[in-house]
Amino acid sequence: MIEREYGLSGTVVARPGAGVNSAEWLAEWENSPGVQYIVPNRKVGISAAASNDPFIDKQTYLQRTHTIDVWQEVSGTETESVVIAIVDTGVDLSHADLKGNLVPGVNLIQPNIPPRDDNGHGTNVAGVIAAVVNNSKGVAGMLWKASIMPIKALEPSGRGDEDKLGEGIRYAVDNGAKIVVLSVGLLRNDAYLQEIVQYAEDHNVMLIAATGNDEGRNVRYPAAYPTVLAVGGVGENNAIEERSNYGPELDLVAPWSVFTTAIGNKYEYQDGTSMAAPQVAAAAAMIWAKYPHMKAHEVRSLLRQTADDIGEAGWDERTGYGLLRVDRAWNEPLLPDMYEPNNSRAEAKPYTAGRMISAELSGGTDVDWFYIDVPYDGTLHMMLLSDAPVPSDVKLTHVGSAGVYAYKAVPGKYVQLKVSQGINRIALQFENSGEPVLWPYRLTSYFSIYRDSFEDNDRQYQAFKLAPRSQSVKGTFDKEGDEDWFSMTFERSGNVTVTLTPDTKRMDPVLTVQKKSERGVTIDDNDDGEFESHSFQAFPGTYYFKAGKVTPEATIGEYTLEIVYEPKYMDPNEPNDRPYQATVLQTDTEYEGVFDRSTDVDYFKFRIAERSLVDFSMTDIPIGRQVTAILQSNALSPVVSQPSDRATGKLAMSIPLDAGTYYIRMTPDEAFQEQLYRLRLHTDVLVGGFTDITGHWAQDAIVDLSAAKIIEGYGNYTFRPEASISRAEAVTLLVKAFEYSKKRPVTFPDLPESHWAYDSVSKALQAGVVQGYPDGRFDPDGKLSRVEMASLFSKALRLGGKLRGDVPFTDIGHDFWALPILKQMKAEGWLTGYDDGTFRPDVSTTRAEFTVMLQRIMNR
């Protein structure tokens, strides 16, 4: 039986009659010779361009997600069959642009009244999805037809309890919802909420949640759970929205800002990830209306694989898999494995811990490679799931910094991988490469952080002992109920500041400080992710510091416990504020002290029996502080004043003093007790103005010539008697001693007129006591040898040399060029050799040897 209608131009609209098989009916007509063409009579709707919703131009997110591009097709589908629950502040039940798309819900805050919105947030969310389209009112929802289930789980303030959130999700699952929109969230994991989320997954209900607007790498729960589609937001031109939470759990992003319904039959702009999440929920509803047989994980996968990759190639933690594309999700088929090709390490695709993804092994040589960027050392728990029986054993290979390890992956059971911070790679493949077989699987995981090195310190009596000094330690809360105790035993009183700082907003730290046998103090002044700090004056004894947190569950993150200890030292020299109280300084002994007030004065005194060079040094002054030391005579008259260096915390004075008693008066610019200054006095007796000739065999000669202004020492009151003397120094001393005054031109190429000894060499040349080397050089800075010294003095003495007599030294040959001079000077007692009979002519002459020789010649 056939029913016919005639359209324009003789077109026939035919339908199979009641009880007629549609497929057989279509085959019969397709083969009929009288039929030119046959096409299905599709449903049509008003196009977007013809939509009469007055504010549609303000809804830019409809164009950015390409929702309008599929309206003509989607508007004819039965999207109202997919119930979308909004667990929020309720919905404005009488809003003219919403009430046509609402189904009964529940009020969990006040169960006896309908779930009316007394905040506005839930109404904003509902309008994005289900504002009635083409009704000449307000805005257009993404779905032409919708079934929104309002579940009020939040107070008028927009806040609520975790149990109400979980109860709302369970109510939605138990009352026919296929999709639950959660534009709310928590920073911390919760075992109860985790159980509810798994309940939804077990019942094939899709949860879509906002990542949060905390401006950080902390996707909120429930969005952070593996089976929840986590949605972030992007700004205009798909720019990163800094306020949108991001991280390894992020799946998709959608426009951050929307124009939507508001309570009281109004409309307004709203922004946040709360407005991005319902856009994804609407797209999911379209998919499920088109493919009602799909599982929740397949819908998630289709939305991921059809997203517009707007960030780094592939998945990235700021934009996930990309921007929601409604047109692609509607038109493109579900790929069984969106990660192919990934058969090698080089082709490995990103996988993030805490996500459930869908893929496929095709048997044979197929290998699925993934890489995971792990934020900390710890354990990655991975599990395979599938709705199909596994055809062969599956091998999971882990490639990490510790090496390569293989495991048998049994579906439904976790494999535990020890992972290090950074990139880890995993590969999945069948153990036996038999006939090719398609095996769809889901890969899920969770991460547990490493156990810190201070464990086991969960109780006060197990407290980890820390040295009593400023320091910081890093720890973790790796298990349920973990709390970390530390102890520090102070021997000195001081100021202590303890600060507990988390590196994640998922940790709300609590700090406890307690002195042994006394009541403790607990500090919890700040919000999630913020530090807690306590300052106090510590006295000698043991103190305990507990690093804890508000909730008992394990946390993926680290904390830093910083202890700043500024001991208050007592000054062992007090009282020494007056000269008559001065502490007596012994030489080469270290003294310590502090300044307990800015007006504090420390006096020290010392006595020297003979003229000496006095060195006074002070160290360990706190950086940035300054101490001024004034050296005073016995009559308290100032001799010299010296401030310390603020940058190094040091002070040094060196001054020659006559015998007598002296005082050192020290004053600070600011008090300090957190560390001890250290001071030391050293004296060296001055003989002839030098500190290094006392008792030396040449002492008398050095003193004699120093007094005669013939010789000089160095700027630090040293003579350095055993140092070698240069040719220029020797000539200069000789010229001074013999008072040569006439000069002659100097032609040595290595002795320019600018040389300090030029004048002396000029006079010595004129006197005929020096000459250069055969190559024309004078070598003024070369060391004077013993034989050169003998030659120099022989010329000054006008000695001609002695040809007769025995060779005076065993190391001088008969043909040695200076033999006559050495014979005469030895015979006349001007020089001697060594005890072994040698003269060692080429050995350098010391300053002491030259001085003694010069004195003998001058006193001849």
pLDDT one-digit tens code per residue, 721-754: 999 999 999 999 999 999 999 999 999 999 999 9
For the chain, residues classed under CATH 3.40.50.200 are 48-331
Query: At a CB cut-off of 8 Å and minimum separation 6, what does 355 contact?
Result: 226, 248, 249, 251, 444, 445
pLDDT for 27: 62
pLDDT for 300: 97
Whether 369 and 399 have beta carbons less than 8 Å apart is answered as no
- pLDDT surpasses 90 at 185: no
String of b and e for 207-244 (b: at least 16 CB within 10 Å)? bbbbbbbbebbbbbbbbbbbbbbbbbbbeeebebbebb
Catalytic residue ranges: 88, 121, 274
pLDDT for 239: 92
For the chain, residues classed under CATH 2.60.120.380 are 345-449, 460-567, 579-685
DSSP per-residue codes, 81-119: GSEEEEEES-B-TT-TTTGGGB---EESSSTTS--B-SS
As to burial, measured by CB atoms within 10 angstroms (0-12 exposed, 13-18 middle, 19+ buried), residue 23 is exposed
Share of the chain above pLDDT 70, in %: 94
Q: What is the pLDDT of residues 309-365, one digit of tens each?
A: 998 888 999 999 999 999 999 999 999 999 999 999 999 999 998 899 999 998 778
Considering the domain delimited by 460-567, tell me its CATH architecture.
Sandwich (2.60)
- pLDDT surpasses 60 at 79: yes
Which CATH number describes the domain made up of 579-685? Answer: 2.60.120.380
Query: Cα 426 from chain centroid?
Result: 27
Q: Using 50, 70 and 90 to split pLDDT, how confident is the model at 38?
A: low
Q: What is the pLDDT of residues 465-481, one digit of tens each?
A: 999 999 999 999 999 99
Whether 614 and 683 have beta carbons less than 8 Å apart is answered as yes
Which CATH number describes the domain made up of 345-449? Answer: 2.60.120.380
Q: What is the pLDDT of residues 481-503, one digit of tens each?
A: 999 999 999 998 899 999 999 99
Domain 48-331, classified CATH 3.40.50.200, yes or no: yes
pLDDT for 32: 66
